[in-house]
């Protein structure tokens, strides 16, 4: 399916099948970018076809890395020769598209490389907060000019960085990563202390690339300047993409879905444990390790009588390991009995859309009562099938689009999803894969 308006009929029977989801976006961004700035050559395989990762590929190539397709190595494989932390100065602004990861990580990598540059993106990205990286990078010596309210575009003059200690007030893997990457070119020790643990893909890959990233007094520290050594990466499946099919299988009675080759990094599968707390039966099997990342399978078998879900409390301690999956977890909560309270998730307000408001509108369209709070929401579960929602408009946000499609499986009649093309940001094949699971 490729139309920007997609009609999703309710599930007539259980969903079944084995599948693989696209490569993990977070790891793919880093595998391309870090190798593009590293010393030597690397083969990166299993890359997803979404627009976000393509923004990173185009930008990294523009900055001097040699990136070539390696089709003989499999689907979406790239051979990368890095620029050894000596990027080419771009003449034009670097377009990061819709990808906050591309913008924030590149800002950290480039700030101390001795070139002037500008990072921009689409209208959605230009609304997202970039002051959270600009301010600490300025403390390291970067000369950065932002648009009003600390937003993109980011304009950076030629700068020389010094190592600095950072205490992050907001738990953000992207901000942490940007500062650690700035530490690669900074003179002296750069240390980053998090307010709460976030996904650690940057740390795992930098260590695999020979960087002495060590812990000191609860902080992550790098002694710069240092050039990472290129390393081959096989990108595992994206757990955030897997989450939509797991919730679909939980919500549709008689389903049996197995997803193989998924990244099982503990900082990425918090949503699995939250679904289990709701009452879902999910099997986790670790089958190996790839590039320092645990890899394996996730399986949901839902009896023909269905799964009885219950509302839960999702607090700030749960959020970092499930931030991207909260929209689809909200759909599961809407089908549960009782109240689910999500708090400590103010970061959802500044994603591709205001995801708290977007989720509240989505669920209200299916007859579910939702109250917004500044940092979350309260969902009063329907405990059964949703009411009709002839149209759903997910605000152009890829994760809200896919959450709407899953919710439509519980509706009494087909639901038209407007702006469905936004799913291509992370999962171009999503609708075809969902259709293929129907029995």
Task: Give the strand pairing for 415-418 and 391-392.
Answer: parallel
End-to-end C-alpha distance for the chain, whole angstroms: 18
Annotated active-site residue 393? The verdict is no
Q: Among residues 95, 223, 324, 397, which one is catalytic?
A: 324
Q: Is 357 exposed, middle or buried (0-12, 13-18, 19+ CB in 10 A)?
A: middle
Catalytic center residues: 324
């Amino acid at each position: 399916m490729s139309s920007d308006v997609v009609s999703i009929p309710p599930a007539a029977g259980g969903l079944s099948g084995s599948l693989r989801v696209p490569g993990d976006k977070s790891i793919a961004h880093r595998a391309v970018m870090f190798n593009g700035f590293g010393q030597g050559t690397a083969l990166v395989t299993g890359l997803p076809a979404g627009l976000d990762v393509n923004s990173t590929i185009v930008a990294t190539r523009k900055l001097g890395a040699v990136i070539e397709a390696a089709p003989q190595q499999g689907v979406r494989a790239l051979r990368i020769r890095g620029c050894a932390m000596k990027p080419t100065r771009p003449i034009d602004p670097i377009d990061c598209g819709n990808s906050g990861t591309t913008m924030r990580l590149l800002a950290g990598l480039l700030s101390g490389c001795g070139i002037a540059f500008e990072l921009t993106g689409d209208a959605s990205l230009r609304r997202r907060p970039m002051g959270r990286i600009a301010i600490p990078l300025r403390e390291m010596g970067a000369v950065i000019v932002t648009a009003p309210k600390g937003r993109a575009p980011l304009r950076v003059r030629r700068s020389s960085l010094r190592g600095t200690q950072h205490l992050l007030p907001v738990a953000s893997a992207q901000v942490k990563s940007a500062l650690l990457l700035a530490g690669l070119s900074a003179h002296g020790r750069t240390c980053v202390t998090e307010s709460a643990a976030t996904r650690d893909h940057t740390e795992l890959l930098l260590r695999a690339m020979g960087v002495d990233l060590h812990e000191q007094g609860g902080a992550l520290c790098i002694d710069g300047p240092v050039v990472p050594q290129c390393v081959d990466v096989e990108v595992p499946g994206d757990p955030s993409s897997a989450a939509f099919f797991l919730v679909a299988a939980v919500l549709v009675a008689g389903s049996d879905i197995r997803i193989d080759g998924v990244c099982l990094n503990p900082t990425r599968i918090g949503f699995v444990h939250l679904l289990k707390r709701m009452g879902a039966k999910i099997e986790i099997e670790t089958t190996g390790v790839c590039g320092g990342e645990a890899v394996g399978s996730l399986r949901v078998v839902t009896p023909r009588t269905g799964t009885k879900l219950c509302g839960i409390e999702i607090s700030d301690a749960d959020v970092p390991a499930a931030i991207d999956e909260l929209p689809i977890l909200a759909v599961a909560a809407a089908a549960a009995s009782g109240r689910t309270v999500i708090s400590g998730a103010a970061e959802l307000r500044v994603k591709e859309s205001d995801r708290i408001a977007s989720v509240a509108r989505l669920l209200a369209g299916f007859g579910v009562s939702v109250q917004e709070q500044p940092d979350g929401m309260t969902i009063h579960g329907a405990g059964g099938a949703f009411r009709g929602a002839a149209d759903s408009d997910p605000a152009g946000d890829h994760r809200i689009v896919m959450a709407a499609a899953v919710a439509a499986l519980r509706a009494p009649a087909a639901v038209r999803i407007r702006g469905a093309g936004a799913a291509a940001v992370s999962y171009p094949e999503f609708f075809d894969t969902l259709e293929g699971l129907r029995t």
